[in-house]
A and B are shown apart, each in its own frame.
Chain A
Amino acid sequence: MPSFSAIVIGGGTNGLACAGRLAAKGCRVVVLEAGAVAGGGAAVREFAPGYFAPALAHTTRGVDARVMAGMALERHGLGFHPALATCVLNAEPLSVMRGKTTGADAAAYAALIAKLSEFARVLAPFRGLTPPRLTSSGNEWGKLARLGLGIRALGKADFREFLRMILINVADVAEDELTDDRLKGLLAFDATLGAWLGPRSPNSLILLLNQLACGPDILVPKGGMAALAAAMVRAAEAAGVVVRCNAAVARVLVTEDRACGVELESGEVLAADKVISAISPRTTFQKLVGPRHLDAGFFSRVQHIRSRGGAAKLHLALTAAPDVPDLQARMVIAPSVRVVEEAFNPVKYGEVPKAPVMEFVVPSAFEGDLASEGHHVLSAIVQFAPHAPKAGLEAARAEMLENTLAVLEAHVPGLRGLVAHAELLMPQDIEARFGMVGGNWHHGELAVEQMLFLRPLREAAQYGTPLPGLYLAGAGSHPGGGINGSAGWNAAGMVLHE
């Protein structure tokens, strides 16, 4: 029986970042990936004959700088295309790029983004922190207090503004600061991207701050999202990590109340001192560990980790380039705050919105090999989609696809005529394919009551779990997901610390 010092379950960006950091410190690590390739949400997939699309994530706000440097990802081939401009599709399209926004509201928008970026800057250090335990005394709260002082250093006026805005809803901010509906819509869309919230919901602005804290720019890696995962695999392997694909874990093995290894679905058993799960915390505890090894109260709270996904993923195989202002920009269709809010309303009741909002990129405009010459691939994140459709998955998917294509056609005339094949992944499909419970791409909603020392649960917020030897390292842990490896890197730090 092969033996490792650590087993990492899940070969997504967080799993690889965690494994890479551990291996660099001399641990013998194996990463077990259920899929045929590592990368999780950052992999690439042939969704129609001859057409390839990013499996789930199609852009990133950049890999965590610590991961980038610690794993020497640049040396292993990771590079990025120039940052993407955002183009708001409308009767009068609007282009938004750092400091180069068009339209009458450009100055107000720039000022607002500058203010929010400043808030994001003081919040960014929280992302690299292991959340303190609520009752621990001394050191950990000291760390937090220091970061708090960093916020106070914004100055009196900005500090007050920060406290006022930290739990505000993004719709109010948009209404207060902007006049152009297109920019208000963009702000509302960006804040609620990947969330199960409408822009009018309190606590929605902090999600935008979190994104800005990951990085100001929207990036596509050279070679596509899969290249990012590939670089991470290479870096991990160079550090001595064994990455095994097609190795789905069936359960975590427990002896004497300690996690001591895993059993694969093939029946194979691997032993290790430490088992680190970079997959969904709910799946980890409910399926891999099971109630027998966990306290009943804890187990019940695990079942209540909210993990509703509100985003669908659309892939279109196009026979020619779509008629958009800039093939290498991120296109956003979110005409106003109200349209974004109304796209969210039906989802609360398990229904499909009439006019969904979305962002899309054309990955084939960056990498020619994703489709044959002259052909293109369009990849869109469409919001909002019900995670538990009342009408049933098939009917909801068909309706969602139709509504989405109708909205797209209205903004990109002639697009439907170019579609050779369309694939729409509803949240349930995303769950089935990527193991993200409820289709939520953060493995648990990124909402204030599930953040920091409450993520995923207070007993497991420091990456350790109530089961000794078992750790969490995925997006379900602080600071959440987003193809940056932060959670995995933090978790490795905690494992090494112990």
Chain B
Amino acid sequence: MIYDAVIIGAGHNGLVAACYLAKAGMKVCVVEKNDWVGGAAVSRSLYPGFTYSNCSYVSSLFRPEIMRDLELPKHGLQILPYEGGAVFTEGGGYLGMFRDHDANRREFARHSRHDAEAYDRYSRDVLRFCRFIRPMLMRTPPDPSSFKPRDIAELIWLGRKMGEMSERQMADMVRFWTMSISDFLDEYFEHPVIKAYLAVSAIIGTALGPMSPGSAYVLLHHYMGDVDGNVGAWGFARGGMGSITQALARSLAAAGGEIRNGSGVESVIVKNGHAQGVVLSNGDEVRGKRVISNMDVKRTFLKHVAEDQLPGDFVKRVKAFKIRGSSGKLNIALDSAPVFPALPEGAPNLKGDLHFTDSIEKMERAYDDWKAGHFSRDPFQDVMIPTMIDPTMTPPGKHFMSCFVQYAPPKIEGREWSDADRDAFGQTCLDQIEKYSPGFKNRVLHVEVRTPRELEAEVGLTEGNIFQGELTFDQLLFNRPVPGYAQYRSPIKGLWMCGSSTHPGGGVMGAPGRNAAAQVLREAKLPNRMSDAYAVL
């Protein structure tokens, strides 16, 4: 049979696109190489009785419009907002974070009264940048080089949005989009720990340091999401991050879509410049009128499409697309809750993100190691214990801990990662935690260490980059992934892109999948029943 659409990869974006197309009446088939769905939003059972969110580990960016359109709560998705967080400092102290703005303010005042004052202004300013960018997420970027009415209308829309701002707001916006987070925070704050905590979101997932220009934008990328309308808040998916993709899979089934697991794609069938389906690695063919790839742009076009089917310029640009792996991950099963002596008893901070990097300088030095081709000797870790809030993931009293680690280069000193490298990397991270939580290592039942090598092999993310491509301006908006191809189309007719390599980029957001589906439906002249992007702000 010939499907209306074959989607390569059952990651969240592939599933979102599939759901929208199926709901519009298309016959869709999602082919997935792994025996499970989810891509990098998965819950895996890698140790008896424990569920791991072993890739992505928190949720905020997932677009509420998609959740509503696809009825994900009905299909079992629940996001539990988390509270708190802490940075442990060298001298045995800590900076706590809370869900409540005023509580944060009081905690800041404990370190610096000046910074507590500045925090109000800072929060307001960052919220304003979020307000500007959020409506852009669900729109297909224009091609500024085109004179087509749609592109011009889109540019005018952008211009209008800019025009709504005051001079000061516009200036702040331009600065914020191009500055380093370190310089940006220096204009508000003075205390190194407060700056270190606030800089965290600017480096997660990216191969930039906090002192790299453009890193402030990455911060925004992590702030523009929400949990239940609470902008900037983050939460856990109950039952692990796989719950998001499980709910999507159920929504897809309800809409009549099909998923084939264990079906890795060998190549995209292209005849007369038109994509007609895929060949699986077992030789089977899945035919379709169009093919939509949820894989990153490099993998799609350099591995699964014959180079002679593509224009030379396009291939050159895809080859030069920067997908830089910068992070690793430790997934840990714990026999009991870790104890951090710096925290007062009963403090809620363990329910949030924990960090051991108490200055921007330490973060930047960790990045310098990455640039030189090593993993960081004193790494930055974003540690979460989702079981503090969600007890469904482990047996009673036990805990699952997720440690997101930066920086880990895709290659070590130019060579592939070996198992010994991986173990040394894992040990470095465990030692760092032990330093702030004595006895921690004795609680460990099982550790899964993931370097960019494992991420690429299992999830298929080239170089292990969690965003399917760096979030720098040369790869954002109309430049993402390739100038002239930012509208989810590719040079091959009927071959589309819907992964995080496309606008607006990575994170468990679903926006690329939805935007791609919108373009596919528009071209197929099918009705688009997507709800409008709504403004919480």
Interface of A toward B, CB cutoff 8 Å: 133-135, 152, 156-157, 159-161, 163-169, 172, 176, 197, 200-203, 304, 306, 338, 341-342, 345, 348-349, 447-449, 453-454, 458
> Interface size of B by Cβ–Cβ distance < 8 Å?
36
Q: Are B320 and A134 in contact (CB under 8 A)?
A: no
Which of A134, A135, A168, A453 is most buried by chain B, counting CB atoms within 10 A of its CB?
A134
Q: Are A161 and B483 in contact (CB under 8 A)?
A: yes
- Residue in contact with A164 in the complex, picked from B167, B208, B474, CB distance below 8 Å: B474
Q: Are A167 and B145 in contact (CB under 8 A)?
A: no
**Which residues does chain A contribute within 8 Å of B186, judged by CB atoms?**
304
Q: Are B365 and A167 in contact (CB under 8 A)?
A: no
Chain A, Cβ-Cβ closest to B162: A134
Can you list 19 A-B contacts with CB-CB less than 8 angstroms, sorted by A residue number?
Answer: A135-B167, A160-B484, A163-B144, A167-B473, A167-B474, A168-B473, A168-B474, A200-B371, A202-B208, A202-B214, A203-B213, A304-B187, A341-B371, A348-B361, A349-B361, A349-B364, A349-B365, A448-B178, A449-B183
**Closest A-B pairs by Cβ, 6 of them:** A160-B483, A202-B214, A167-B473, A168-B474, A448-B178, A135-B167
Binary interface profile of B, 180-198, with partner A (CB < 8 Å = 1, else 0)?
1001001100000000000
Which of B171, B313, B479 is most buried by chain A, counting CB atoms within 10 A of its CB?
B171
Q: Is the interface of B mostly helix, strand, loop or mixed?
A: helix
Q: How far, in whole Å, are A133 and B372 apart by their CA atoms in the complex?
A: 42
**Which residues does chain B contribute within 8 Å of A447, judged by CB atoms?**
178, 213
**Which residues does chain A contribute within 8 Å of B484, judged by CB atoms?**
160
Given contacts A135-B170, A345-B368, A458-B168, contact A164 B213 (CB under 8 A): no
Chain A, Cβ-Cβ closest to B207: A200
Given contacts A160-B145, A202-B212, A349-B361, contact A453 B171 (CB under 8 A): yes
- Residue in contact with B170 in the complex, picked from A134, A201, A341, A348, CB distance below 8 Å: A134
- Residue in contact with B479 in the complex, picked from A134, A163, A202, A338, CB distance below 8 Å: A163
Task: Answer whether residue B174 sits at the interface, using C-beta atoms and an 8 A cutoff.
Answer: yes
Q: Are A202 and B472 in contact (CB under 8 A)?
A: yes
**Which residues does chain B contribute within 8 Å of A169, judged by CB atoms?**
472
**Which residues does chain A contribute within 8 Å of B214, judged by CB atoms?**
167, 202-203
Give the shortest distance, in Å, between A138 (CB) and chain B (any CB): 13
Task: Answer whether residue B166 sits at the interface, using C-beta atoms and an 8 A cutoff.
Answer: yes
Q: Are A164 and B166 in contact (CB under 8 A)?
A: no
Chain A, Cβ-Cβ closest to B208: A202
Give the shortest distance, in Å, between A62 (CB) and chain B (any CB): 28
Q: Are A306 and B183 in contact (CB under 8 A)?
A: yes
Q: Which B302-331 residues have C-beta < 8 A from chain A?
A: 313, 320, 322
Task: Answer whether residue B128 sits at the interface, using C-beta atoms and an 8 A cutoff.
Answer: no
Q: How far, in whole Å, are A342 and B368 apart by their CA atoms in the complex?
A: 8
**Which residues does chain A contribute within 8 Å of B368, judged by CB atoms?**
345
Task: Answer whether residue B377 sits at the interface, using C-beta atoms and an 8 A cutoff.
Answer: no
Q: Are B175 and A454 in contact (CB under 8 A)?
A: yes
- Residue in contact with A348 in the complex, picked from B364, B474, B478, CB distance below 8 Å: B364
Q: Which B13-61 residues have C-beta < 8 A from chain A?
A: none
Give the shortest distance, in Å, between A343 (CB) and chain B (any CB): 12
Binary interface profile of B, 357-390, with partner A (CB < 8 Å = 1, else 0)?
0000100110010011000000000000000000
Q: How far, in whole Å, are A197 and B211 apart by their CA atoms in the complex?
A: 9
**Which residues does chain B contribute within 8 Å of A203, judged by CB atoms?**
178, 213-214
Chain B, Cβ-Cβ closest to A160: B483
Q: Are B365 and A202 in contact (CB under 8 A)?
A: no
Chain B, Cβ-Cβ closest to A159: B145
Given contacts A160-B483, A167-B472, A172-B322, contact A449 B178 (CB under 8 A): yes
Q: Are B175 and A449 in contact (CB under 8 A)?
A: yes
Chain A, Cβ-Cβ closest to B214: A202
Chain A, Cβ-Cβ closest to B184: A449
Q: How far, in whole Å, are A197 and B214 apart by their CA atoms in the complex?
A: 12
Q: How far, in whole Å, are A304 and B166 apart by their CA atoms in the complex?
A: 21
Q: How far, in whole Å, are A202 and B212 apart by their CA atoms in the complex?
A: 7
Binary interface profile of B, 195-221, with partner A (CB < 8 Å = 1, else 0)?
000000000000010011110000000
Q: How far, in whole Å, are A164 and B484 apart by their CA atoms in the complex?
A: 10
Q: Are A135 and B166 in contact (CB under 8 A)?
A: yes
Chain B, Cβ-Cβ closest to A300: B187
Give the shortest distance, in Å, between A122 (CB) and chain B (any CB): 14
Q: Are A167 and B364 in contact (CB under 8 A)?
A: no
**Which residues does chain A contribute within 8 Å of B472, judged by CB atoms?**
167-169, 202
Q: How far, in whole Å, are A447 and B211 apart by their CA atoms in the complex?
A: 13
Q: Which B212-259 residues have C-beta < 8 A from chain A?
A: 212-214
**Which residues does chain B contribute within 8 Å of A448, judged by CB atoms?**
178, 213
- Residue in contact with A449 in the complex, picked from B166, B174, B364, B474, CB distance below 8 Å: B174
Q: How far, in whole Å, are A296 and B365 apart by their CA atoms in the complex?
A: 36
**Which residues does chain B contribute within 8 Å of A160, judged by CB atoms?**
144-145, 483-484
Interface of B toward A, CB cutoff 8 Å: 144-145, 166-168, 170-171, 174-175, 178-180, 183, 186-187, 208, 211-214, 313, 320, 322, 361, 364-365, 368, 371-372, 472-474, 478-479, 483-484
Chain A, Cβ-Cβ closest to B210: A348
Chain B, Cβ-Cβ closest to A458: B171
**Which residues does chain B contribute within 8 Å of A200, judged by CB atoms?**
212, 371
Q: Are A164 and B174 in contact (CB under 8 A)?
A: no
Q: How far, in whole Å, are A304 and B187 apart by their CA atoms in the complex?
A: 6
Q: How far, in whole Å, are A197 and B213 apart by their CA atoms in the complex?
A: 9
Q: Are B483 and A164 in contact (CB under 8 A)?
A: yes
Give the shortest distance, in Å, between B202 (CB) and chain A (any CB): 13
Q: Are A454 and B483 in contact (CB under 8 A)?
A: no
Give the shortest distance, in Å, between A173 (CB) and chain B (any CB): 9
Q: Are B170 and A202 in contact (CB under 8 A)?
A: no
**Which residues does chain B contribute within 8 Å of A172, judged by CB atoms?**
320, 322, 474
**Which residues does chain A contribute within 8 Å of B364, judged by CB atoms?**
348-349
**Which residues does chain B contribute within 8 Å of A345, judged by CB atoms?**
368, 371
Q: Are A134 and B167 in contact (CB under 8 A)?
A: yes
Chain B, Cβ-Cβ closest to A177: B320
Q: How far, in whole Å, are A152 and B155 apart by their CA atoms in the complex?
A: 14
Q: Are B478 and A163 in contact (CB under 8 A)?
A: yes
Chain A, Cβ-Cβ closest to B180: A201
Q: How far, in whole Å, are A133 and B168 apart by their CA atoms in the complex?
A: 11
- Residue in contact with A176 in the complex, picked from B174, B180, B183, B320, CB distance below 8 Å: B320
Q: How far, in whole Å, are A160 and B314 apart by their CA atoms in the complex?
A: 12
Give the shortest distance, in Å, between B509 (CB) and chain A (any CB): 22
Q: How far, in whole Å, are A152 and B187 apart by their CA atoms in the complex?
A: 36
Given contacts A167-B214, A202-B473, contact A454 B174 (CB under 8 A): yes
Chain B, Cβ-Cβ closest to A461: B171
Given contacts A163-B479, A164-B474, A203-B214, contact A152 B145 (CB under 8 A): yes
Q: How far, in whole Å, are A152 and B143 apart by their CA atoms in the complex?
A: 12
Q: Are B212 and A201 in contact (CB under 8 A)?
A: yes
**Which residues does chain A contribute within 8 Å of B322, judged by CB atoms?**
172
Q: How far, in whole Å, are A161 and B313 apart by their CA atoms in the complex?
A: 11
Given contacts A202-B214, A304-B187, A448-B178, contact A342 B473 (CB under 8 A): no
Q: How far, in whole Å, are A157 and B485 apart by their CA atoms in the complex?
A: 12
Chain A, Cβ-Cβ closest to B177: A449
**Which residues does chain A contribute within 8 Å of B167, judged by CB atoms?**
133-135, 458
**Which residues does chain A contribute within 8 Å of B478, judged by CB atoms?**
163
Q: Are A134 and B213 in contact (CB under 8 A)?
A: no
Which of A160, A172, A304 is most buried by chain B, counting CB atoms within 10 A of its CB?
A160
- Residue in contact with B179 in the complex, picked from A164, A166, A349, A449, CB distance below 8 Å: A449
Give the shortest distance, in Å, between A477 (CB) and chain B (any CB): 16
Q: How far, in whole Å, are A164 and B213 apart by their CA atoms in the complex?
A: 16
**Which residues does chain A contribute within 8 Å of B175, judged by CB atoms?**
449, 454
**Which residues does chain A contribute within 8 Å of B145, judged by CB atoms?**
152, 156, 159-160, 163
**Which residues does chain B contribute within 8 Å of A453, judged by CB atoms?**
171
Q: How far, in whole Å, are A133 and B170 apart by their CA atoms in the complex?
A: 11
Give the shortest distance, in Å, between B463 (CB) and chain A (any CB): 14
**Which residues does chain B contribute within 8 Å of A159, judged by CB atoms?**
144-145
Give the shortest distance, in Å, between B310 (CB) and chain A (any CB): 16
Q: Are A163 and B170 in contact (CB under 8 A)?
A: no
Known: A160-B484, A163-B145, A202-B213; 10 extra A-B contacts, CB below 8 A, are A156-B145, A160-B483, A167-B178, A172-B322, A176-B320, A201-B212, A349-B361, A349-B364, A349-B365, A453-B171
Chain B, Cβ-Cβ closest to A156: B145
